[in-house]
Amino acid sequence: MDEFNTRKPMTLRKRGIYLLPNLFTTGALFAGFYAIVQAMNNKFEIAAVAIFIAMVLDGLDGRVARLTHTQSEFGAEYDSLSDMVSFGVAPSLVVYEWALKGLGKWGWFAAFIYCCATALRLARFNTNIDVVDKRYFQGLPSPAAAALVAGFVWVMLDYGFKGESVRWYAAAIAVFAGLSMVSNLPFYSFKDFNMRKSVPFLVIFLIAIVFILISSYPPGVLFGLFLAYALSGFVMWFVRRRKNAHPVA
């Protein structure tokens, strides 16, 4: 008798995944992939918008998972891989194809700094998630960095600038975003903002104003907002350093 026939069949445990939050993650992944495809077709404005769409979808998947109590280890890993494509590979390729290609080795070097920094930022976030102050991110979040790069491409295109004319500025933005991601600077996470609690009327009014400003000129306002957020970490670090240097008696 064949020895393989004497073994008992193995019973595999079926392990399902939650559909709803991972559907948003898949949407974010597709938007990042779509941005890469459009950049290869020289449709850079569409590529930049796709990265912003990926950012919105990425912001929804975690919140949906928490609201529906469908968090899972699979979802966390899948989200991290999706972030690497949408906020690491996609922005670096978009800015490289648009402006950095003409710089030769310096162009792909700047793009790689950004891409590598995204991978390091995500790896550090995954390993330090339980030991850092949840009110602040350690380093610039990868979606914000991607929005900064994509916003620069979008606003320059809207003003009629070609990539060749602003290539060094694009390289500086990419390197700045990359170094900010791997820095230890604190960036406010907005995670202590509880949507289930009541807020003053002024907060709702300010949110409405922000939406009006974004709708009036999306590329400029979005780029300005994320540039201000990227600089906020440096401002917060400077303020904390001054407080530590001059403690209150």
| Residues 221 and 214 sit within 8 Å (Cβ to Cβ) | yes
* Digit-coded pLDDT (tens) for 192-245: 666 666 667 787 888 889 889 989 999 999 999 999 999 999 999 888 888 877
What distances in angstroms separate CA 124 from CA 72, 121, 182, 233, one per listed residue? 19, 5, 9, 17
Place of tokens 């390993």: 127
Residues 22-33, mean pLDDT to the nearest whole number: 94
- Cα–Cα dist 43/35, whole Å: 9
What distances in angstroms separate CA 37 from CA 25, 43, 81, 91, 200, one per listed residue? 19, 9, 18, 12, 44
Separation of CA 22 from chain center: 17
Task: Residue 50: name the closest of 31, 36, 37, 24 by CA.
Answer: 31
Place of tokens 């790896």: 123
CATH topology assigned to domain 18-245: Four Helix Bundle (Hemerythrin (Met), subunit A) (1.20.120)
Place of tokens 């000129």: 217
* Digit-coded pLDDT (tens) for 54-76: 999 998 887 787 778 778 888 88
* Digit-coded pLDDT (tens) for 160-192: 999 999 999 999 999 999 999 999 999 988 776
Rg of the chain on CA atoms, in Å: 21
- Cα–Cα dist 55/41, whole Å: 22
Q: What's the pTM value of the predicted model, to 2 decimals?
A: 0.86
- pLDDT for 55 equals 95
Place of tokens 């300005």: 224
> What token pair was written down for 24?
């948003």
Backbone angles phi, psi at 137, to 5 degrees: -85, 145
Domain boundaries, the chain: 18-245
